[in-house]
Each structure stands twice: as C-alpha cells, then as structure tokens.
Amino acid sequence: MYRGLREQPIFSTRAHVFQIDPNTKKNWVPTSKHAVTVSYFFDSTRNVYRIISLDGSKAIINSTITPNMTFTKTSQKFGQWADSRANTVYGLGFSSESHLVKFADKFAEFKEAARLAKEKSQEKMELTSTPSQESAPGDLQSPLTSESINGTDDERVTPDTPQHTEARAEPSQNALPFSHSSSSINKHWEVELAALKGNNAKLTAALLESTANVKQWKQQLAAYQEEAERLHKRVTELECVSGQTTVIKSQKTELNQTIEELELALKAKEEELERLKAEVESANEFQSQKDSLTQKLQDTESRNQVLEAQLSDLEQRLESSQQEREAFRKSLRSLLELLDSKIFELTELRDTLAKLLEGS
C-alpha cells in the first residue's frame, strides 16, 4: 500500500494539462484528453517538492519545484510555468478561477519552502566543509544559480494561451429605428444561445464521462467490499487459532491496517460520487436555462416580426399621406390660378363700369 512511499500528496486538484510545442515554442499541445488529477508531492527524505500528474499509468507532469520557478496566470482559468530541467513549459486549464488561484497560492508557498530548504542545505554544507577546502577557494565549484536550475528569463516562453471569449451585443446610446433595434436584440440572443449550446455540449460530454467513471468506481467499490469481507473472515479464522500467537497478532494488525486503508478508499469514492451528483444537477440547471433562453429568443423573433409588420404599415401610410398632400397642393395651386383670373376679370369689369358711370 501507500505506507512504504516516501512521497505523500499534500494538495490535489483537477485540470486539463498542456505542454508547449517543442518545434514552434508558441502553440499548446494537450497531453490529456480530459481533466486529470494534478498533485503537489513532498519528498521528506530529500526535502523536495514536486508537481506530478498521471493519465492512467503515464506520467504527463513530473516537475521539481525550484526557488526561481514562476507560475504565471495568463487568463482567468489558465496558468503556466517553465521547467528547464524537463526543457518544456507546462500549462494547466482549470474549470474555475478559484481553482487556479488555489493552485497558484500553493505554488508560491511550496516555492518559498523549497527556497528555505535550499538555504538550510547550503548552510549545512558550509558548516561541514573542511579547513582545507576553505583555504582553497579556487577548487570549489561555482554555486547553483537560478539560471542554471530553471533557465534564464529569455527561456521562459509565454505562448498563446487558449481562452474562451463570448461576444455580447451592447445597446447603442443613440435611438435606432425599429428594424435595427430588433436586429441587434436578435443577434444578442443568438450569441447567448450559441454560448449555451457550447456549454451544454461540454457538460454533456463531462456527464457521459462521469457516468462511465461512476460505473467503474461502483465495480471497484464492490471489489473493495468483497476484499474487506474476505479479510474480516480471515481475521476471525486467525483469532480462532490457538497456536502461533505472535504471527497471528502481526497478521491481524496488518489486515486491520489494510481494512482501514480500504475504508478510506471507499470514503474517498463516496465523496467523488457526491461531487459527480452535484455536477449532474448543475448540468440540469444549465439545460433549464438553455430552454428558457430558447423560449425568449422565439418570443423576440415573434415580436420582431410584429414590429416589422407595423413598420411596413407605417411606411405605406406615410407614402399614401405624401401622395394625398401632393394632390392637395396641385388642386390648391390650380384653385389659386383660377381665383387670380376671376379677380383680374372682376377688376376689368369694375374699371368698365366706372368708365360707363363717368360717361353717363
């Protein structure tokens, strides 16, 4: 079991693992098909901290933390660090910003611990050095520098970080016509729906993967329970044996320890099952939100059609009103011309009558 290991995990999280492309030094290459466990390990024998991640039985991260390493957060959910010993740059994509912040805080904490351990080791080396070595400084090797352990700043590559952005339509400050306003609203809901569809696809894939893992863990739990029952029976049988008391006691102790480890493993699997149930509930909530937004989009489209029909009717009314006003202007103009001619005739008639009156 795990009792014989000198390294113990002190912090674990889950993330998607990437490595920098060794050819381009710019693009990320995924080393895991899905999120895997990434753990900090502490080697009490060598006083060393390491970051280790396994994809099945394959080690995709094996990085020793040195004092001059730097973990850089390049986005809200992505971070990276350079390992000159492995001659690569590791990248981790987390499911949330809080997980990234916790991992970065632990990196800084263990980096400081590695620095203190290195200083203590150097102090011990200086105290144990002989007088002959102190009198011949030219024979001493040059101390390790930050550049020799983790590379210089020029070796630290900051590649293009994979980020997920969502375009959101913002309302204009100026008043727009009905058609433009409804078009912008329609585009906004279409973008929201596309983003939700993408999230839904990811959650569906995660749910399928979680379902498969649950089946596997249930099989493992059943196997652990059978093993525990077998061990309990074995303990009972050994207790019934009168001879070889010392051997029986040692075997009993070992079996009890094995049972405790199996119980701890069962507890961990149960906690993992609870977490998966919470993820399934979250996926159902996202599905309900998607349905709600789909209904809102349909309502918006129907309102858009009504507004377009109203706009078309208003345009027709405006065109008819303009034609009627133009016809009224023409008739008014012809009436004015007729009135001018009648006034002119009346003026001539008045002049003629005046002359007749004067002549009589």
The predicted-structure confidence for 288-332, as pLDDT tens digits, reads as follows 899 999 999 999 999 999 999 999 999 999 999 999 999 999 999
Q: Are 145 and 152 in contact (CB under 8 A)?
A: no
- Residue 348 resides in a domain: no
Predicted pLDDT at 245:
64
Within 13 Å, how many C-alpha atoms sit on residue 335's CB side? Answer: 6
Q: What is the pLDDT of residues 192-218, one digit of tens each?
A: 788 888 888 888 877 887 787 787 788
Predicted pLDDT at 85:
87
Q: What is the pLDDT of residues 72-101, one digit of tens each?
A: 999 999 999 999 888 899 999 999 999 999
**Collapsing DSSP states into helix, strand and coil, what is residue 134?**
helix
Domain count, the chain: 1
Within 13 Å, how many C-alpha atoms sit on residue 118's CB side? Answer: 16
Range of the domain at 72: 9-122
Q: What is the pLDDT of residues 136-183, one digit of tens each?
A: 333 333 333 333 333 333 333 344 444 433 333 333 333 334 445 567
Please tell me what DSSP assigns to residue 27.
Answer: S
What would the mean pLDDT of 29-33 be, rounded to a whole number?
Answer: 90
What would the mean pLDDT of 252-279 be, rounded to a whole number?
Answer: 89
Contacts of 48 (CB under 8 A, 6+ apart): 42, 64, 65, 114, 117
Q: Are 199 and 68 in contact (CB under 8 A)?
A: no
d(CA 126, CA 132): 13
- Choose between 181 and 190: higher pLDDT: 190
Predicted pLDDT at 38:
94
- Residue 34 resides in a domain: yes
**Collapsing DSSP states into helix, strand and coil, what is residue 20?**
strand
d(CA 261, CA 268): 11
HEC-encoded secondary structure of 101-117: HHHHHHHHHHHHHHHHH
Look at residue 351 and tell me whether its pLDDT is greater than 70: yes
- Residue 112 resides in a domain: yes
State the CATH number of the domain containing residue 48. 2.30.29.30
Split at pLDDT 50, 70, 90, the class of 240 is low
d(CA 253, CA 348): 141
- Residue 237 resides in a domain: no
Taking all residues of the chain, what is their mean pLDDT, rounded to a whole number? Answer: 79
d(CA 268, CA 262): 10
What would the mean pLDDT of 42-52 be, rounded to a whole number?
Answer: 88
Contacts of 76 (CB under 8 A, 6+ apart): 97, 100
Radius of gyration (C-alpha) of the chain in whole angstroms: 42
Q: What are phi and psi of 91, to 5 degrees?
A: -130, 145
- Residue 99 resides in a domain: yes
Structure tokens at 90: 């590791």
- Residue 303 resides in a domain: no
Task: Give me the residue label for tokens 């065109």.
Answer: 319
- Residue 22 resides in a domain: yes
Answer whether 0.75 is exceeded by the pTM: no
Structure tokens at 271: 């906690």
Q: Are 114 and 48 in contact (CB under 8 A)?
A: yes
Q: Where are the alpha helices (DSSP H) in the chain?
A: 97-128, 131-135, 146-150, 178-240, 245-359
Split at pLDDT 50, 70, 90, the class of 49 is very high
Predicted pLDDT at 47:
85
* Dihedral sign computed on CA atoms, order 240, 245, 251, 257: positive
- Residue 358 resides in a domain: no
d(CA 230, CA 191): 58
Give the residue among 10, 110, 126 at the shortest CA–CA distance from 66.
110
